[in-house]
Amino acid sequence: MPDFRVPPFVAELWRALRQKGWRPYFVGGYVRDLLIGRESHDLDLIVDRAARRAARYLADQFGGAYYDLDAERDFGRAILPANNHRPALEVDITPLPDGGIEADLAARDFTINAIALTLAPTPHLVDPFAGAADLQACLLRPVTDAALANDPVRLLRAVRFALDLHCHWNKALVTNVEALAPQLSEVGIERLRDEWHRILGSRHPAGGLVMTDRHRLLPQFLPELTAMHGVQQPLPHVHDLFLHTVAVLRHLGHWSAWLAGANTRQSVPQQMAVTTLQPWRTWLAGQLNAALSSNRSRGLALRWSALLHDVGKISTGRLGEDGRLHFIGHELAGAALAGEILTRFRLSRAEIAQIEQTIQWHMRLHDLFHTWQQSGTPHMLNRRALFRFFRDAEPVFPELLLLYWADVQGTYGHDVPETVWSEVMAMSCYLLHALREQRQTLLPTPLLDGRAIMTLLRIEPGPAVGAALSALREAQSVGDVTNLQDAQAWLIDWWARQANY
């Protein structure tokens, strides 16, 4: 039997249930993680009766909260707060099926998840499918021949486990996954989305994209991405559109790991950048950790943005008079197509809006960079350019920065010219400093509100009021207007000029 040690606080939970007459087993991912020495705060337990009552008992006994997961099937959850002896724990308890613990394990997906642990009379494993040996061999193997067909979402789960646990697939699993791939389209969209999110939000999102494409899964749920294969791009791009997207997602994963404080292998450009960017690391991390929906963050939305940022190039590629391929307007076409895809995946309105904006504005930093390079030494951007950029893009500025860095790296591959990268970082820090130190002057509150503008210009409510507000705000930002009297005179003159156009 593999060596493992059950943490004292976990054993305490088991004993509490045992003393009240339940026969509990630890099962699933918790047992798997325990065997490989990975810390886990999510516990799955099976008890021989009254599972919801067992969960409620643990919640009451250990000062936690109880939640009904599925009253009909008798599934319950106890959320236990952290204290001096244990971390915060989420404990899901389900009932033992007819046929006992072996029947439960036989119905699971992969052998590495079909292991149970009991502590009586001493800690020992119930492992009828040799899952512990497969775990030690890093082999991913279905529990039964029918396991994948019984629940096709497990095809995506096979990708996730391969990446997360570094498990390899044998030829039989590869053949099985590819043969069953069309059945993935039969999975409910919410379940499919949630499993895809676990891959997209993992440490290896690019690997997930490659594996789902290689094993014929991607066309079943994101056919828009498979259309990127073979779409060539002009220099300095070194990849076709699909491989460029893979590279951008890989680099974004490295940036996300850096923000999270992980000690991971960094690319040479990232090694050059992290010291320069250190003052903004905490702020960027906080922005991307913020929630957009009940359980999904801006960071996950950013990964969707990276995945779809160039999807508009499929329909917009045209050969120009200069003999080069151009993708004019691909960011707008991409934002529109992304909205359709994300609606299909039933993301929230807030998530869709965030991703659409990020894709719509993702070329703005590339455009600003050309202005930056032409501005002379020392490089500076004029206030009008800064105002217009932040006016449009401030809500997604952190996303745009990280996507921009990954996009530059994905464009050049491993050979980003040092002169280009140093200027990319210089401009990025310039923008970060401008927003942090000069926001009130860059994005001032208009000296006149909409009602005052309507009275001054004698106009009715409508788009003209918004246009006047934006124009006044820009005039204040660049210093053309500094007080109320200036604002009134400037707006009257501005309105007269509009009438002459």
Rounded to an integer, the average pLDDT of 240-252 is 96
The amino acid occupying position 128 is: P
* Banded model confidence at residue 264, pLDDT cuts 50, 70, 90: low
According to the model, what pLDDT value does residue 437 have? 87
According to the model, what pLDDT value does residue 274 have? 82
Q: Beta strand 139-140 with 168-169: parallel, antiparallel or unpaired?
A: parallel
DSSP one-letter code for 68:
E
Rounded to an integer, the average pLDDT of 126-148 is 95
Task: Please choose, from the candidates 226, 194, 157, the residue with its C-alpha nearest in 3D space to the C-alpha of residue 346.
Answer: 194
According to the model, what pLDDT value does residue 117 have? 95
* Banded model confidence at residue 263, pLDDT cuts 50, 70, 90: low
* Banded model confidence at residue 320, pLDDT cuts 50, 70, 90: confident
Rounded to an integer, the average pLDDT of 322-342 is 94
Assess whether pLDDT exceeds 80 at residue 55.
Answer: yes
Region of poorest pLDDT, from 146-150, 308-312, 320-324, 338-342: 320-324
Assess whether pLDDT exceeds 70 at residue 477.
Answer: yes
Rounded to an integer, the average pLDDT of 63-67 is 95
Average pLDDT, the chain: 93
Assess whether pLDDT exceeds 70 at residue 104.
Answer: yes
Sign (positive/negative) of CA torsion 89, 90, 93, 94? Answer: negative
Region of poorest pLDDT, from 250-259, 268-277, 481-490: 268-277
What residues contact 29, with CB distance under 8 A and at least 6 apart? Answer: 40, 42, 44, 113
In 10 A of CB 178, how many CB atoms?
14
The answer to whether residues 308 and 341 touch, using CB atoms and an 8 Å cutoff, is yes
Assess whether pLDDT exceeds 90 at residue 359.
Answer: yes
State the Cα–Cα distance between residues 32 and 19, nearest whole angstrom: 26
The answer to whether residues 155 and 181 touch, using CB atoms and an 8 Å cutoff, is yes
430-451 pLDDT, tens per residue? 999 999 888 988 999 999 999 9
What residues contact 127, with CB distance under 8 A and at least 6 apart? Answer: 114, 115, 116
Percent of the chain having pLDDT more than 90? 83
The pTM for the full model equals 0.92
According to the model, what pLDDT value does residue 375 have? 86
162-188 pLDDT, tens per residue? 999 999 999 999 999 999 999 999 999
Assess whether pLDDT exceeds 80 at residue 262.
Answer: no
Rounded to an integer, the average pLDDT of 384-413 is 95
Residue 389 to residues 59, 325, 376, 399, 458, Cα–Cα distance (Å): 51, 27, 20, 14, 30
Assess whether pLDDT exceeds 60 at residue 1.
Answer: no
**Cα angle 339-343-349, degrees, rounded to a multiple of 5:** 80
Percent of the chain having pLDDT more than 70? 98
According to the model, what pLDDT value does residue 85 have? 84
According to the model, what pLDDT value does residue 265 have? 64
Assess whether pLDDT exceeds 60 at residue 238.
Answer: yes
Top CATH class of 8-138 equals alpha beta
Considering all CA atoms of the chain, what is the largest pairwise distance in Å, rounded to the nearest integer?
A: 91
DSSP string, 183-221: GGGGS-HHHHHHHHHHHHTSS-HHHHHHHHHHTT-HHHH
73-96 pLDDT, tens per residue? 999 999 999 988 889 999 999 999
Output 456 or 273, whichever has higher pLDDT.
456
Residue 144 to residues 32, 63, 357, 384, 406, Cα–Cα distance (Å): 18, 40, 45, 65, 41
* Banded model confidence at residue 501, pLDDT cuts 50, 70, 90: low
Q: Which CATH architecture describes the domain 149-220?
A: Orthogonal Bundle (1.10)
* Banded model confidence at residue 498, pLDDT cuts 50, 70, 90: confident
Output 378 or 491, whichever has higher pLDDT.
491
Q: Where are the domains of the chain?
A: 8-138, 149-220, 250-442, 450-499
